Homo-oligomer: A and B are copies of this chain.
Amino acid sequence: MAFELYYWPGLPGRGEFVRLALEHAEADYVDVVRDRKSGMSALTRIMEKEAATPPFAPPFLKDGDLVICQTAAILLHLGDRLKLAPKNPARRLWAHQIQLTIADLVAEVHNVHHPVATGLYYEDQKREARKAARSFREDRIPKYLEWFERILAHEGRGGKWLVGRSAGYVDLSLFHLVEGLRYAFPVAMEREEAATPRVVALNSAVRELSAIAAYLASKRHIPFNEDGIFRHYPELDG
Contact = CB atoms under 8 A, between A and B. Distances in A.
A66 B90 contact: yes
A56 B147 contact: yes
A150 B48 CA distance: 10
A82 interface: no
A77 interface: yes
Contact of A72 (B56, B69, B100, B107): B100
A77 B56 contact: no
Interface stretch (A19-27, A114-122, A167-175, A230-238): A114-122
Q: Describe A's contact surface by its main secondary structure.
A: helix
Nearest to A65: B90
Tell me how many chains of this kind the complex includes.
2
Interface in A78-120: 90, 93-94, 96-97, 100-101, 104, 107, 111, 115-120
A100 B135 contact: no
Nearest to A96: B73
A139 interface: yes
A204 to B, nearest CB: 24
Contact of A94 (B53, B104, B128, B136): B53
Interface in A109-156: 111, 115-120, 125, 128, 131-132, 134-136, 139, 144, 147, 150-151, 154
Nearest to A136: B117
A72, A97, A118: which has the most chain B beta carbons within 10 Å? A97
Interface of A: 52-54, 56, 66, 68-70, 72-73, 76-77, 90, 93-94, 96-97, 100-101, 104, 107, 111, 115-120, 125, 128, 131-132, 134-136, 139, 144, 147, 150-151, 154
